[in-house]
Amino acid sequence: MKQRYGSLYLLGILLACGVLIGSCSNSNSNSTQPGNGITEPVEPVDPPPTEPPVVTVATDWSAAMVTLTLDISIVHFTPTRVRLYPRGIEGDWIETDDAAPWSFTIDITDLAPGDHEMLVIADNEDAEIQKSEVVSINGCNGEQSLCNRSYDQVRYVTTHNAMSNSMDGWRGPNQNLDVPAQLQAGVRGLMLDLYRAGSLNQFDQVQVPDADPDASFLCHSVCALGKQPLAEGLAEIRAFLDDNPGAVITFIIESYLSHELTAEAFDEAGLTPYTYTHTGDAWPSLGQMIDAGTRLVVLQDKAVDPAYPWLMNVWNHAFETHYSAAAPEDFSCAVNRGTPSNDLFIFNHFLTGLFGAPELAEQVNYNPLLLNRINECEAFHGAPGNFVTVDFVDIGDAISAVKTLNDAGGF
């Protein structure tokens, strides 16, 4: 009997010890289980990522006011002040805006056309951010000084028979450069001849026998010597206007087309929206024409059709000097066509042969002859030589002479 009780006693002690050990183990190893009155530890959580500040600059050019407006938008940062450095951080020109929306309108009279790196700095009491922005500055026909000058007080480098050029393979051309290259060089006046495919040339031959008789072409007298579909040539000029928002261009057209066919080609090329219609009042400034989007003046030798008022008659608005000089001594300031009281002056300065010839341009396209003759005829007529017209514009000083005169002012 004792031995049995002894065994039972020993078993009770072991069970009691097991309970106690379990209780101790639970108190040390199960502290994270709920219901034991002890707070669970919290795993650390990374803060959400912070978006970097973004500065955006939008520009709006007013050619008439010769100003540029820069609208600054900033996200992921709240500034209390924004500063603009139009000449960069090294410049002494600083504009400050202390309240949103952040906007700056600056006078760009002294900023030459081209790309300018400007600096934007935005800050608050805790931080500062910066952004360099390359801003394109336009001029009016390449000059800020021309933006406020009226159209009739500006001179334009003009190419005689502009479409007839050696780059496009025309025979007996008047120009080396094609029309897009002329425009890139600084030409802003184009003399163009327009023909209907089914019309007869001076030899009683159909101009373009393999085309629709009502198709329109750029040609010079005889389309067999060189031609280009009119809408195609106009589309090249429209592309230049699209890419050069400060360019004002003038066409002086010898036309053998109806108004309807001419307008149809302009529409096809997307050029009609650019055309300007003069109402008889004072001519607008180049800046006003640019801001209005009417940067193409079309003058032709046909009577005006009220249905197409932008196809203006050249001799209602202009006069010209003679264009049939065979030698330099034949040049004259006398009026050939048009009335000297008209607003615009076509200054013809090229020698005439059976075909155009670079050798003839070499004789007359250089200063001092060119500049002296412009000055002489401007003084004679008391008006600026608006359209300084030459053959082979890439030969000689026509572009630099016109710049010199424009820089000196109107007349």
**Model pTM score:** 0.87
- Residues 384, 411 contacting (CB under 8 angstroms): yes
Residue 153: per-residue pLDDT = 98
**Residues contacting residue 335 through CB under 8 Å, at least 6 positions apart:** 319, 320, 321
Residue 38: per-residue pLDDT = 62
Domains along the sequence of the chain with CATH: 54-137 (2.60.40.10), 144-408 (3.20.20.190)
Residue 15: per-residue pLDDT = 40
Residue 29: per-residue pLDDT = 43
In eight-state DSSP terms, residue 210 is T
Cα-to-chain-centroid distance, residue 341: 34
The segments of the chain whose pLDDT lies below 50 read 1-34
Cα–Cα dist 289/67, whole Å: 15
Residue 36: per-residue pLDDT = 56
